[in-house]
Homo-oligomer: A and B are copies of this chain.
Amino acid sequence: MQKLLLSLVGLCLLSLAPVGNPPKSRRPNPPAPSDEKMVRTIFDEVLLRGTCYENLRVLCKDVGNRLSGSAGAAKAVVWGQKTLDAATAQAGKGGANVFLQEVMVPRWERGAKESCTLEAKGQKSIMLDVLALGGSIATPANGIKAEIIEIHQFKELDSLGEKNIKGKIVFFNRPFSVTDVSAFSAYGGCVNQRVDGASQAAKYGALAVLARSMTHALDRYPHTGVMIYADSAQKIPAAAVSTLSARLIHDAIQAGKRPVANLKLFCRNFPNVPSHNVIAEIRGSELPNEYIVVGGHLDSWDTGEGAHDDGTGVVQSIEVLRILIASGYKPKRTIRAVLFMNEENGAMGAKEYAAQAAAKGEKHYAAIESDRGGFTPRGFAVQDTGAFLRFVQGFRPVLAPYGFTEITTGFGGVDIGPLGASGTHLLGYLPDSQRYFDHHHAQTDVFEAVNKRELELGAGGMAAMVYLLDQYGAR
């Protein structure tokens, strides 16, 4: 996920959300014994008969990575529809409905394997670990060869100015803050280097940029992710370098060797192409035009298998429907699992879903997104600071025995974000964050990095939250 891009938008929405839908909710505090029993049934269902881990294996190993507009993404749409059909089959005729929602998405291709050499006085040429950033233009076929200068903060670009930057390759090397306990907070403090670095450096005549990978880990894996050209900016090529490569570059610069890089990228942007959100719903028995959405994103970057980002959110969302059906729960509201297309580089699926919901007059009561990895549960982030947050915190006693102890104000998610404008309550599933950026957008984001029980506990908590919101949500 590319979280930060829309998290600022998300934070702005914080003040809007409660206005559209003032909570008059009953607060289950202390929760009823029947709630404890239902939540136990939900967790038993997923822990004993869960299908999400096997679904993830198929998504990772048979579909593989699935960047928007690619053949992999098309295959993922077919897989999503088939898997939702199978998961909801038990609901019987008319009980569940699986359908596609067309959406136009960007298409960017990496092309041939990129490369970057580092040359410095008195040392042999070194191959750096690089990955083109998503959305970047290519270099000329023989590469861009220039001296590297190292930058930590954008304001240093202003101080250095054109005379020091023009004709150079700018290397953004601001590391994650290790004292932020939340890895997402550390990511938020760095990701502008990746997203905006090229346009910031191009203002002063830089030829290309290298951005330190967005991770706590010190290793040889470059982490890709979206970059965006400002409308006004000259477009220059941009690539991520691994943290160990970043150290090599830094050391060469510190040693006064004035290192030179030769960067070759072969990537290309194409016109938008059609793709799909994949949606399944169980109709509500009392309030069929009120919706509760659970979702993750079906697309991934074109490296690794998109396991934690966001295969886990996808299979958990599917699992929520299966759990509720298998547990015999008849929801008051219509419950939807939405597999959003194109979270990584455009969020076009998110925008399309919200636009169609508004156009059709569908009242979305709440939406829960899982896009922070499939790790062991911590709780939920509620995109609210007032009554709705306190209402959800009232669920803590029934959820805490399953590891959901933290119900705090926070960003809901990129894909559910656009629903916030119409007053939908937004919640993000909050797993433990420490290992997430070891895998995020890198070749290490594979099925094997996911633990079966951690994945299942997350799905159970999401299903329990849907149940509780449906039971106690304000009419």
Contacts and interface: CB of A to CB of B under 8 A. Distances in A.
Contacts of A183: 453
Interface stretch (A248-256, A322-330, A397-405): A397-405
Interface stretch (A78-86, A88-96, A195-203, A431-439): A431-439
Interface stretch (A17-25, A43-51, A266-274, A419-427): A43-51
Given A181-B401, A181-B402, A216 B432 contact: no
A403 B405 CA distance: 10
A32 B130 CA distance: 48
Contact of A434 (B178, B376, B401): B376
Contact of A178 (B181, B403, B453): B453
A48 B434 contact: no
A376 B406 CA distance: 14
Contacts of A216: 452-453
A451 interface: yes
Copies of this chain assembled into the complex: 2
B179 A48 contact: yes
B402 A405 contact: no
A146 interface: no
A243 to B, nearest CB: 12
Interface in A217-270: 217
Contacts of A47: 178-179
Interface in A420-475: 432, 434-435, 438, 451-454, 457
A107 B91 CA distance: 60
Given A44-B179, A48-B178, A435 B406 contact: no
Contact of A454 (B217, B402, B403, B434): B434
Contacts of A402: 181
A81 B49 CA distance: 49
Contacts of A217: 452
A299 B454 CA distance: 29
A206 B453 CA distance: 36
Given A376-B432, A376-B434, A457 B181 contact: yes
B457 A438 contact: no
A434 B453 CA distance: 7
Interface string A34-50: 00000000011001100
A329 to B, nearest CB: 18
Contacts of A435: 376, 451, 454
A457 B182 CA distance: 11
A376 to B, nearest CB: 5
A194 B376 CA distance: 28
Q: Considering the complex of A and B, which 3 residue pairs feature the smallest CB-CB distances, nearest first?
A: A405-B405, A47-B178, A434-B453
14 contacts: A47-B178, A47-B179, A48-B179, A178-B453, A181-B402, A216-B452, A217-B452, A378-B403, A405-B406, A432-B432, A434-B453, A434-B454, A434-B457, A438-B451
